[in-house]
Amino acid sequence: MTPAEAGESRRVNVGILHATAFELKPFLTQCDRKGRREGPDGLLWQGALLNQQRLVLVQTGPGPQRADLGCRRLIAEQAPRWVVSAGFSGGLQPGVKLGDIVVASGTSDPNGGTLEIDLKMPADPEHGLHVGRLLTIDHVARTIAEKTGLGVATGALAVDMESHAVAQVCRELGVPFLAVRVISDDLESELPAEAAGLLGGNGVVKFGAAAAALWKRPAALGELWQLREVGGQAAARLGTFLAGMLEQLAVPEGT
């Protein structure tokens, strides 16, 4: 094996960008982890093996700006064969339910920017698998009214805060891209007002903010606990789907 071939064999197969640790925790339990480090910019890096396939996961924190930064750093430092944006999303259409998986055939933003993804994956709505457009905005779409309005205005299946930003960077730099999202709140779900303020910029829950929220409105405890339970179930569903999908994308280590 030549030095060039040796370097290629050590290349990362898939880089996964996610906003919070909670979203990808069940997936990581299926992997053999090889280490983690925190960058000076707040990005959390984790190396992993999944069935002998090399992965790098980057926890960016929420929002399109941090997703853009994380994606550029990932590509520059690791040169993955594929980049995947994964995590939670809010359902924007009546048939998209809690725990359903949405694989993006395109992404968009509120300013009319759109990107198409050459995806040949059949949808299976009866079993909770949807293929369609993801909308990315810069805040949590918390209310039923807002999600309904976004769905009507854009036709997107689901909304998140990162996918379109990652898709733009990957298109610019010529890296194949996929977005896989699980519905953590659908059109019948209204997130508690406190939910939007609990995440820090690096995707870590701000316990001080949580305590302050409960002090001001004790009833929020039950709502936030239910949100955590639903989120845990959604993350487990995402982890199972993601592991199966990545087996079809990645190249075994050492080949």
Could you report the per-residue pLDDT of 19-64, keeping only the tens digit for each?
A: 998 899 999 999 998 888 998 888 999 999 998 899 999 999 999 9
Cα Rg of the chain, angstroms: 18
In a domain, 255, yes or no: no
pLDDT in tens, 103-149: 999 999 999 899 999 888 999 999 999 999 999 999 989 899 999 99
Residues 6 or more apart in contact with residue 222 via CB below 8 angstroms: none
Instruction: Quote the number of domains for the chain.
Output: 1
In a domain, 194, yes or no: yes
Which tokens hold the place of 148? 């309904």
In a domain, 189, yes or no: yes
Task: Round to whole Å and give the CA distance between 89 and 151.
Answer: 13
- The pTM of this model reads 0.85
In a domain, 87, yes or no: yes
pLDDT in tens, 67-105: 999 999 999 999 999 999 999 999 999 999 999 999 999
Q: Supply the range of the domain harboring residue 9.
A: 3-249
In a domain, 204, yes or no: yes
CATH of residue 46:
3.40.50.1580
Q: In degrees to the nearest 10, what's the CA dihedral of 15, 140, 185, 126? A: -60
In a domain, 254, yes or no: no
In a domain, 94, yes or no: yes
